[in-house]
Structure 1
């Protein structure tokens, strides 16, 4: 608990930041649709945001070295708030695409600042528990954020003021903390071909996590805004988003613990199969099961789809030589970011071609394909020995993600 108290202000900052993240993730697709943009355009603009995030993740270590964690977080938060407020001033899809790139870069910088700081400040023996609290708090904020604007129109300026308010407020805990800023990070990239040879199942799993999860979540508000739950509109979308994240939050820890005891790829296959079946049931029987039924199935989808990324990363670490964990996790992040660029484009096209059936139909097929691939890889390549297997820790696809240290190599913790 002492380790958690020492970095509590950093965790609070991220929770406030993710309140804004949950809001903007809902408002952008709904606002674009209100302006007359179709699903494919909404997917393209979501891909622009993912591209900005990728740029931010790539350039953040250099930015940290130049200005430090506190100033980078504050500057990025200010840019993010300005980019959000600008959305309410000019209702044009091209302009929104540019602002979403800025927002992606800003969020990558803010996450990098906080997570590299956590990696330095938290002792190795406490890191798993602290990061569990960190990611749980972040998911709760993503669930709660949309409820702050429930009932407001998607282009109502008050919704964007709420988002900018949280982005600005997130600066306060970081600026008043007494925690010493960490030294600038040193990151040497790993060639993707080498990463693919080392852990091909992890690379494919992380790629499809970006494609399926980012693509589905980007179009989720469009799918659910016509529901009548809680009066419909933003309120219905907030309930849907909370249901998906709740599923991931509930199953994340049990799935991780199970993967420490049996073959991780089989657990990943099970999660993907569960999520894939739930997605196909929504696609095929969505109208028949009613709105409550769809929400229940969406929770099941979230439980599987939003839980397997961390297991893919853990599988890659199991096969990583000592001292190369930072490079592996950095490489996986960029694979995920690439998938996050492609995913919204594919989901937007699928929704344009087949409306509601297309969005979850695509997700269901891809998830079932991934489940099959994981089972095939288990048959082709044996699991690592118990001595090689690293204990699972909750990990989400955010820059650097406290990867400064290899937990199996105490010599790096100096």
Structure 2
């Protein structure tokens, strides 16, 4: 694990900073949209535009990484994302925000493809589950911390847009000063969603479903808070608890999936997500402590499904397919997440704020039922046969290189 961390620390620090900015801007945009009088439907469409760009970024980035390398792509996409959030604060029109969210989604998808293929190359048999879980924990901690930064300034002013841009820009520093990025390989295979579906239907379904529910939770959580009358400070805590649940429960859930059949763990987490979301719906309007505790658990059991889906898909792949699979699963996640905010916004328009929880419950129920169905179609991979990512020798930071 120490070797894997030595070759991945710069990436993890960069991801942490980018996710701080992402967590801040996601809630910031939802709040500012409400302040500016955007309709719930328009806000849902703006949030979904992020995932439309996500689709394009996940499709185009692998070819660019192959041509210019991981570090340059990370730097270029981060710079574009930094500029895009500033422009949100300058032009307050729904159509323009949708366009900028599309650009941001393109950039973030590229960053995720770079990060996941990087970690694929750096992991070995002993570190795969731990390194992947650590990557997800870093993401969730960054997202959670970003929610708390809402209290630094007023959503009605420019300062929070500037702060988001600064955080994303700072992510370039550790990445630019490392030589540990893996070298692009000419031997990597392409995997379309259809091809990956044939290899691992549940892996694809879990990632798509995770996109739907995560997109809905992160994209519409602040809007839900606004509709039930939470203050800006309370919304920031609500969103932080949502993501903190995922950050804290991600690692034990990941370790559980390494010890037992992943399909069983997916069924368990989905079932718990459904039950908790329905309880949260029924208990809406009760104490603040209960609301925060339930959203902590909803996030804790629903959001790790993406990592479980990635791990399950990887169990059925050859080594040469894994980098391409990272790109395809990011694409699949984006396809699901494109519909998440729009679908949940429609439910909230029809049912009121409770549609937020009902939508998550329906999505998680579909994942769990499909996982149960797959157990009748193919014998699962035993825990002892669940395959790791392949190891590749890495480099050193520039200040430790020998001439």
TM-score by length of 2: 0.88
Q: What pairs with 1:12-161 in structure 2 (closer than 5 Å)?
A: 12-120=13-121, 126=127, 128-150=129-151, 152-161=153-162
Q: CA deviation at 1:2?
A: 4.5
Q: CA deviation at 1:347?
A: 1.0
Structure 2 counterpart of 1:398: none
Deviation track 1:164-192 (CA, whole Å, cap 9, x = no partner) reads 11111112222233x25533355532243
Q: CA deviation at 1:270?
A: 1.3
- Select the residue among 260, 267, 271 that pairs with 1:262: 260
Q: CA deviation at 1:304?
A: 0.9
User: Per the alignment, in what secondary structure is the counterpart of residue 184 of structure 1?
Assistant: coil
Q: CA deviation at 1:278?
A: 1.3
The answer as to whether partners of 1:245 and 1:302 remain within 8 angstroms in 2 is yes
CA gap of 1:226–1:118, structure 2 versus 1, over 3 A, is same
Mapped partners of 2:262, 2:120: distance in 1: 25
The reply on whether 1:319 has 2:320 as its aligned counterpart is no
Deviation track 1:357-393 (CA, whole Å, cap 9, x = no partner) reads 11111211221232233223223432224553236xx
Moved more, 76-85 or 18-27: 76-85
Mapped partners of 1:334, 1:251: distance in 2: 25
- Select the residue among 228, 239, 255 that pairs with 1:241: 239
Mapped partners of 1:125, 1:159: distance in 2: 41
The answer as to whether partners of 2:136 and 2:250 remain within 8 angstroms in 1 is no
Q: What pairs with 1:177-188 in structure 2 (closer than 5 Å)?
A: 177=178, 179-186=179-186, 187-188=188-189
Q: CA deviation at 1:196?
A: 2.3
Structure 1 counterpart of 2:398: none
Mapped partners of 1:17, 1:80: distance in 2: 9
Mapped partners of 1:7, 1:359: distance in 2: 36
CA RMSD, 1 decimal: 2.5
Structure 2 counterpart of 1:250: 248
Mapped partners of 2:201, 2:108: distance in 1: 29
- Select the residue among 265, 271, 274 that pairs with 2:272: 274
CA gap of 1:144–1:253, structure 2 versus 1, over 3 A, is same
User: Per the alignment, in what secondary structure is the counterpart of residue 154 of structure 2?
Assistant: coil
Q: CA deviation at 1:42?
A: 1.4
Mapped partners of 2:306, 2:393: distance in 1: 26
The answer as to whether partners of 2:58 and 2:328 remain within 8 angstroms in 1 is no
State the aligned residue count. Answer: 392
The reply on whether 1:210 has 2:207 as its aligned counterpart is no
Deviation track 1:171-226 (CA, whole Å, cap 9, x = no partner) reads 2222233x255333555322433322332222222211111121222000011136
Mapped partners of 1:112, 1:191: distance in 2: 15
The answer as to whether partners of 2:77 and 2:108 remain within 8 angstroms in 1 is yes
CA gap of 1:185–1:350, structure 2 versus 1, over 3 A, is farther
Q: CA deviation at 1:340?
A: 0.9
Structure 2 counterpart of 1:294: 291
- Select the residue among 316, 326, 331 that pairs with 1:334: 331
Q: CA deviation at 1:70?
A: 3.3
Q: CA deviation at 1:333?
A: 2.4
User: Per the alignment, in what secondary structure is the counterpart of residue 44 of structure 1?
Assistant: helix
Moved more, 328-337 or 20-29: 328-337
TM-score by length of 1: 0.86
Q: Which runs of 5 or more structure 1 residues have no equivalent in the other structure?
A: 392-405
The answer as to whether partners of 1:41 and 1:348 remain within 8 angstroms in 2 is no
Q: Which runs of 5 or more structure 2 residues have no equivalent in the other structure?
A: 395-403
User: Per the alignment, in what secondary structure is the counterpart of residue 88 of structure 1?
Assistant: helix
- Select the residue among 370, 382, 386 that pairs with 2:367: 370
Q: CA deviation at 1:66?
A: 4.0
The answer as to whether partners of 1:64 and 1:113 remain within 8 angstroms in 2 is yes
